[in-house]
């Protein structure tokens, strides 16, 4: 069953189309990774799904045929900007947000304790949020969103700016939520996180979907691609000329350079490596080491969206 169905979603800001005729579905129990460069349309999309923005065009339906008005109590939102009150304790924060969904009495007390325990904050429940570390605040942010046991949780970069231990704890908590039947839409700039926890992936750029599907299937699409990584030394280097020469080799699809390493993207059947090495020698480039790998999800993402900085 679809928890969310988005059809022909469009949102414009004056002359800028932030989301351009986007359609996709999220099935019950999925963790959908919604990724894209800065300004791609991710935040606008999740703000429309969570009812914070009204679309210019398109339809958003929950559980096949319900509107946001009739379904919003089933949704939890973990915003990128912390939505907690620093002068309230952890328990007071969670109780406040849970009460907005109609929880009260013993049921409220029980579910507040459960959510604080699930994010590892029950022992600090009486401590004011302003004294929490960055990771603890992020976990409290999640607790406030899950206490009413929503069917769908939208998480907008929930691990930004925290330590690795807190990040790992949050990722494990998300997996547990999925095992309990919760559906999650997850945005992140950390592609290794997306690869670890998301079973579905949607890449958006310039307001349009450029790739979507099961994470394993997307990686399988690129199984016939390889990356030849060459570490090198060179006193002088005209990268543009080197790149142009290597790109002329049949089977090479992309060449980039970082930290004294060439990353040469090529098809699996490309075996003309001698020509690559001869070109490097012609430019007086000394080869230190060579590595041959299958592209990661991050490398697939960069090949589709480009490597230039986005503000």
* pTM for the full predicted model: 0.81
278, containing H or E segment: helix 273-282
Domain assignment present for residue 306? The answer is: no
Query: Same domain, yes or no, for 137 and 162?
Result: yes
Q: How would DSSP label each residue in 143-154?
A: HHHHTT--SEEE
- pLDDT higher than threshold 60 for residue 307: no
What is the pLDDT at residue 222? 76
Same domain for 266 and 146: no
Q: How much is the pLDDT for 120?
A: 93
| Closest C-alpha to 170, from 126, 137, 127, 122 | 137
Residue 290: alpha-carbon gap to chain centroid: 31
CATH code at position 167: 3.40.50.300
How many domains does the chain fold into? 2
Same domain, 197 and 285: no
Please compute the mean of the pLDDT values over residues 13-34 and round it to a whole number.
94
Both 153 and 246 in one domain: the answer is no
Report pLDDT for 62.
96
User: What is the pLDDT at residue 311?
Assistant: 52
Please name the residue that has the structure tokens 């800028």.
16
How many C-beta atoms lie closer than 10 Å to residue 55's C-beta? 20
Q: Domain of 229: which CATH number?
A: 3.30.70.100
Supply 83's token pair.
């939505």
Share of the chain above pLDDT 70, in %: 98
Arithmetic mean of pLDDT, 163-192: 92
Kindly state whether residues 237 and 172 are assigned to the same domain: no
Structure tokens that stand for 221 in this block: 């699409």
196 plus 278 within the same structural domain: no
In a domain? residue 305: no
Contacting residues for 44 by C-beta, under 8 A, at least 6 apart:
11, 18, 19, 53, 207
Residue 25 has pLDDT above 90, yes or no: yes
pLDDT in tens, 120-130: 999 999 999 99
**Rounded Cα–Cα distance for residues 166 and 189 (Å):** 16
**304 neighbors 311 (Cβ within 8 angstroms):** no
User: Quick one: pLDDT at residue 60?
Assistant: 96
DSSP code, position 198: -
pLDDT band at 294 (very low <50, low <70, confident <90, very high): confident
Same domain? For 213 and 237 the reply is no
- Long-range interactions of 125-130: CB distance < 8 A, separation 24+: 125/89, 125/90, 125/91, 126/89, 126/90, 126/91, 127/89, 127/90, 128/86, 128/87, 128/88, 128/89, 129/84, 129/85, 129/86, 129/87, 129/88, 129/89, 129/90, 129/93, 130/86, 130/87
Mean pLDDT of 182-193: 92
**Are the CB atoms for 221 and 257 separated by under 8 Å?**
no
Maximum average pLDDT range among 34-43, 86-95, 228-237: 86-95
Residue 117: band (very low, low, confident or very high) from pLDDT cuts 50, 70, 90: very high
Same domain? For 32 and 97 the reply is: yes
Half-sphere exposure of 111 (CA within 13 A, CB side): 22
Which pLDDT does position 102 carry in this prediction?
Answer: 87
**50 Cβ contact list (under 8 Å, min separation 6):** 75, 77, 154
Same domain, yes or no: 190 and 54: yes
Quote the CA–CA distance of 268 and 146 in Å, as a whole number.
45
| Range of the structural domain that residue 102 is part of | 2-220
């Amino acid at each position: 069953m679809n928890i969310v169905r988005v059809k022909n979603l469009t949102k414009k800001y004056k002359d800028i189309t932030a989301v351009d005729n986007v359609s996709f579905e999220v099935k019950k129990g999925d963790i959908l990774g919604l990724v894209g460069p800065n300004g791609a349309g991710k935040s606008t999309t999740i703000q429309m799904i969570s009812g914070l923005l009204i679309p210019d065009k398109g339809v958003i339906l929950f559980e096949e045929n319900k509107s946001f008005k009739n379904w919003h109590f089933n949704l939890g939102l973990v915003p990128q900007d912390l939505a907690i009150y620093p002068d309230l304790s952890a328990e007071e924060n969670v109780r406040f947000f849970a009460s907005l969904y109609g929880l009260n009495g013993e049921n409220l007390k029980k579910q507040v304790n459960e959510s604080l325990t699930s994010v590892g904050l029950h022992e600090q429940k009486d401590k004011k949020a302003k004294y929490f570390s960055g990771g603890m605040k992020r976990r409290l942010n999640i607790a406030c969103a899950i206490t009413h046991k929503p069917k769908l949780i939208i998480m907008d970069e929930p691990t930004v700016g925290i330590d690795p231990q807190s990040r790992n704890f949050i990722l494990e908590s998300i997996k547990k939520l999925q095992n309990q039947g919760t559906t999650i839409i997850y945005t992140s700039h950390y592609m290794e996180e997306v690869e670890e926890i998301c079973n579905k992936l949607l890449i958006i750029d310039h307001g349009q979907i450029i790739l979507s599907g099961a994470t394993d299937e997307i990686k399988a699409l690129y199984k016939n691609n390889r990356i030849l990584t060459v570490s090198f030394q060179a006193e002088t280097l005209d990268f543009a000329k080197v790149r142009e020469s290597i790109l002329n080799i049949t089977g090479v699809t992309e060449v980039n350079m970082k930290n004294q390493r060439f990353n040469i993207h090529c098809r699996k059947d490309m075996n003309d490596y001698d020509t690559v090495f001869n070109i490097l020698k012609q430019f007086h480039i000394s080869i230190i080491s060579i590595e041959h790998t299958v592209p990661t999800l991050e490398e697939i993402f960069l090949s589709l969206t480009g490597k230039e900085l986005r503000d």
